[in-house]
């Protein structure tokens, strides 16, 4: 088992935790919380596979990641009240997972002979953020990734790093570069509380927005 | 026409009724209510077909079920004010439909040579609950199936029954077993008002959830 | 470059403008607004391609329309406060785009040998309204197209015109007929403020709806 696989498992657990916690906050029952955990953890990959025509999506051929997500969700469900103190660990794990998911998405594109940088970076982005978008749609929230902090942007920068380093240094180095860059950008954004700009200042001053 | 086909039509009508009623409650116009009816009735099957690579989804090759859904929606639209007294019939039809849809989903998996129990049960589940999830997303509600009662769980138990009875008794018996078990579990859940557990008791006591 | 291609670009810009403005109103950051612009502009076509098995969707093979959408979104983001006076132009462009998208959807169906009128009109409809539905789901609104005015209905009438005129007058004429009819129906609906009927009068009088 290589390091990226370890990161992928860390990410699966972190994404499942975030899905389950959102489900619990939204008053879902055990089944809903499990579905939200699984959706967050594997939704991005399933969407990527649908786009490039992998039928059925890899997720269904191997219940490995579903199993991890379900077990994670049950544990979160039982120990929910004690999880708040783990906030830091969850954020770091989430950033590791984001890096692993984004670069795995890029590398699935390459393996399926889609080598245009636009597709490679797009599939990395979808794999990284697709699950979280689905989680928020199901939980009746505007997707987190559209509103706050440098999250998707970290995937895009990581994807671009993957493409560039793959050109010069080969696939293996590219995987670690993409993963590492995504992780670092995300962690810096969290530490410095970096945000993308928002528009419509005048509108806001006049109090016309919701 | 075999019995499962009859159940499928009953289910289509029941699902279309639920979609249309949600649309009307959400102040949608005739078109919106029809779309919601069709989405609820066929959305699960379309999602299943996208996942396993049936292009275009069966629904589009044959407008039969769309036609049933549209006619149902128009009738509901016209007679909306008188439908509340049919509540019981609608619930029973919905449970029949859930059973039919779930087992048809399982059997589509088998026909396309996906025989792993995980895929079979997953596709049954998606076929059964996918339409309702889409309905609720479009209607801006947290999907019903994540919050209340034993609904998805009935599909899963039905799917497992399908897999087991297919191993010992063949396809035909499995279809009826899966359908019947799903129906019975769902009806018991309604009658006894069974619910899955929810988490976060302490959080709730402190009044921190929405 | 033929006229339909020009209309497609006009439509892409108009759809991107609507997506970006919704994003800004919902307090999204620059990335969210761009995603919403791209989603609105290309979402319908991507969904159409997923349904008929074009992998990856045409959008990914050629970043042309994504580029147009992103540039549009950035311009809207910067000049947001001055855009209200362009309301009329945006509505007309949107109607042109709706016509172009709907007929392009119909014609993609034909090119992929799906000639049943039901599929042709459905794919035209999805291409025309799919992006807007996704935009509204992400923005946490009940999709506009389910609630207000003759929008989807314009696509359907345009699609039917496409099918009929293709039978008698060939593909090229059908493209312009479909596009023109969709545009005209949409403009009449705007000018006359035409709406589809809604149900449940008694319910509303009793003040039971939201």
ipTM: 0.82
Q: Within an 8 Å CB–CB cutoff, is residue B111 touching chain A?
A: no
Average pLDDT over chain C reads: 86
Report which of residues A58 and A122 the model is more confident about: A122
CB contact under 8 A, A209 and C27: yes
Q: Within an 8 Å CB–CB cutoff, is residue A84 touching chain B?
A: no
Kindly report whether the peptide bond that precedes residue C41 is cis, defined as omega within 30 degrees of 0.
Answer: no
Instruction: Report the share of chain C in percent with pLDDT over 70.
Output: 91
Other C-beta atoms lying within 10 Å of the C-beta of residue B139: 22
- pLDDT at position B93: 84
For residue C146, list chain B residues with Cβ-Cβ distance below 8 A. Answer: 23, 28-29, 31-33, 35-36, 138
| Total residue count of chain A as it appears in this document | 210
What is the nearest CA distance from B54 to chain A, expressed in angstroms? 9
Other C-beta atoms lying within 10 Å of the C-beta of residue A206: 10
- pLDDT at position B177: 92
Other C-beta atoms lying within 10 Å of the C-beta of residue B14: 24
Q: Within an 8 Å CB–CB cutoff, is residue A51 touching chain C?
A: yes
CB contact under 8 A, A56 and B119: yes
In the predicted model, what is the mean pLDDT of residues A182-187? 93
Of A36, A61, A66, the CB nearest to B146: A36
Instruction: Report the share of chain C in percent with pLDDT over 90.
Output: 45
Average pLDDT over chain B reads: 86
Question: How many contacts, defined by CB atoms under 8 Å, are there between A and B?
Answer: 87
In the predicted model, what is the mean pLDDT of residues A69-80? 90
- pLDDT at position B88: 77
Residue in C closest to A50 by C-alpha: C50
C-alpha distances in angstroms, A134 versus A77, A161, B130, C35? 20, 26, 14, 15
* Two tokens, residue A101: 């998911």
**Per-residue confidence band for A161, with pLDDT thresholds at 50, 70 and 90:** very high
For residue A57, list chain B residues with Cβ-Cβ distance below 8 A. Answer: 51
Q: Within an 8 Å CB–CB cutoff, is residue C143 touching chain B?
A: yes
- pLDDT at position A208: 44
Most confident of A148-157, A188-197, B68-77, B82-91: B68-77
Per the CB < 8 A criterion, the answer to whether C140 and B21 are in contact is no
For residue A23, list chain B residues with Cβ-Cβ distance below 8 A. Answer: 146
Residue C54: DSSP 8-state: -
- Among C138, C135, C134, C111, residue whose Cα is nearest residue C123: C111
Q: Within an 8 Å CB–CB cutoff, is residue C206 touching chain A?
A: no
**Regions in chain B scoring below 50 on pLDDT:** 202-210
* Two tokens, residue A127: 């794999």
Of C53, C142, C153, the CB nearest to B31: C153
Question: ∠ CA(C203), CA(C204), CA(C207), 5° rounding?
Answer: 95
Residues A115-131 as b or e (16 or more Cβ within 10 Å = b): eebbbbbbbbbbbbbbb
CB contact under 8 A, B114 and A60: yes
Tell me which chains share at least 3 CB pairs under 8 Å with chain A. Answer: B, C
Residue whose tokens read 């066929």: B42
Q: Within an 8 Å CB–CB cutoff, is residue B206 touching chain C?
A: no
For residue C24, list chain A residues with Cβ-Cβ distance below 8 A. Answer: 198-200, 203
Q: Within an 8 Å CB–CB cutoff, is residue B119 touching chain A?
A: yes
Per the CB < 8 A criterion, the answer to whether A118 and C63 are in contact is yes
- pLDDT at position A190: 86
Question: ∠ CA(C135), CA(C144), CA(C24), 5° rounding?
Answer: 45
Residue whose tokens read 């403008």: C17
In the predicted model, what is the mean pLDDT of residues A140-162? 88
In angstroms, the CA A103 to CA A182 distance is 9
Of B50, B148, B152, the CB nearest to A50: B50
CB contact under 8 A, B196 and A63: no
In angstroms, the CA A7 to CA A10 distance is 5
For chain A, the straight-line distance linking the first and the last C-alpha, in angstroms and rounded, comes to 49
Report the residue of A52, A199, A203 to disrupt the C interface, i.e. the one with the largest count of C CBs within 10 Å.
A199
For residue C119, list chain B residues with Cβ-Cβ distance below 8 A. Answer: 56, 60-61
For residue C136, list chain A residues with Cβ-Cβ distance below 8 A. Answer: none
**Per-residue confidence band for A145, with pLDDT thresholds at 50, 70 and 90:** confident
- pLDDT at position C149: 67
Average pLDDT over chain A reads: 86
Of B51, B196, B203, the CB nearest to A29: B196
- Among C120, C151, C107, C158, residue whose Cα is nearest residue C133: C151
Residue in C closest to B76 by C-alpha: C199
In the predicted model, what is the mean pLDDT of residues C30-51? 91
CB contact under 8 A, B138 and C142: yes
Other C-beta atoms lying within 10 Å of the C-beta of residue B112: 17
Q: Within an 8 Å CB–CB cutoff, is residue A202 touching chain C?
A: yes
Of A119, A145, A152, the CB nearest to C60: A119
In the predicted model, what is the mean pLDDT of residues C100-119? 92
Q: Within an 8 Å CB–CB cutoff, is residue B140 touching chain A?
A: yes
Report phi then psi at B68, rounded to 5.
Answer: -55, -45
Residue ranges of A 148-167 with Cβ closer than 8 A to chain C: 148, 152-153
In angstroms, the CA C188 to CA C129 distance is 18
Torsion of CA A2, A40, B55, B171, to 10 degrees: 90
Report the residue of C144, C146, C186 to disrupt the B interface, i.e. the one with the largest count of B CBs within 10 Å.
C146
Per the CB < 8 A criterion, the answer to whether C187 and C98 are in contact is no
CB contact under 8 A, B137 and C137: yes
Of C50, C197, C203, the CB nearest to B29: C197
Using a 10 angstrom Cβ sphere, with 0-12 exposed, 13-18 middle and 19 or more buried, the burial of residue A1 is: exposed
Report phi then psi at B54, rounded to 5.
Answer: -90, 110
Of B35, B55, B76, the CB nearest to C146: B35
- pLDDT at position B201: 53
Of B51, B142, B200, the CB nearest to A57: B51
Residue in A closest to B47 by C-alpha: A50
In the predicted model, what is the mean pLDDT of residues C66-87? 86
pLDDT at C202 over 60: no
Of C50, C63, C139, the CB nearest to A118: C63
Kindly report whether the peptide bond that precedes residue A85 is cis, defined as omega within 30 degrees of 0.
Answer: no
């Amino acid at each position: 088992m290589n390091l990226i696989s370890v990161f992928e498992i860390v990410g699966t657990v972190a994404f499942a935790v975030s899905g389950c916690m959102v489900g619990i906050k939204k008053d879902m029952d055990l089944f809903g919380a499990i579905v939200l955990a699984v959706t967050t953890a594997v939704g991005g990959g399933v969407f990527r596979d649908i786009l490039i025509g992998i039928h059925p999506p890899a997720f269904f051929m191997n219940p490995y990641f579903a199993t991890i997500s379900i077990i994670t969700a049950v544990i979160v469900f039982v120990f929910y009240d004690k999880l708040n103190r783990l906030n830091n660990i969850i954020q770091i794990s989430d950033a590791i997972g984001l890096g692993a998911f984004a670069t795995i998405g890029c590398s699935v594109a390459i393996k399926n002979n889609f080598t245009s940088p636009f597709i490679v970076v797009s599939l990395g982005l979808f794999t990284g953020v697709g699950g979280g978008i689905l989680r928020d749609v199901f939980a009746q929230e505007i997707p987190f990734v559209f509103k706050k902090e440098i999250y998707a942007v970290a995937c895009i920068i990581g994807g671009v790093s993957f493409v560039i380093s793959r050109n010069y240094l080969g696939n293996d180095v590219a995987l670690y570069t993409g993963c590492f860059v995504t992780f670092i950008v995300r962690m810096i954004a969290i530490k410095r509380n970096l945000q993308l700009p928002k528009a419509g200042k005048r509108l806001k001053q006049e109090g016309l927005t919701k």
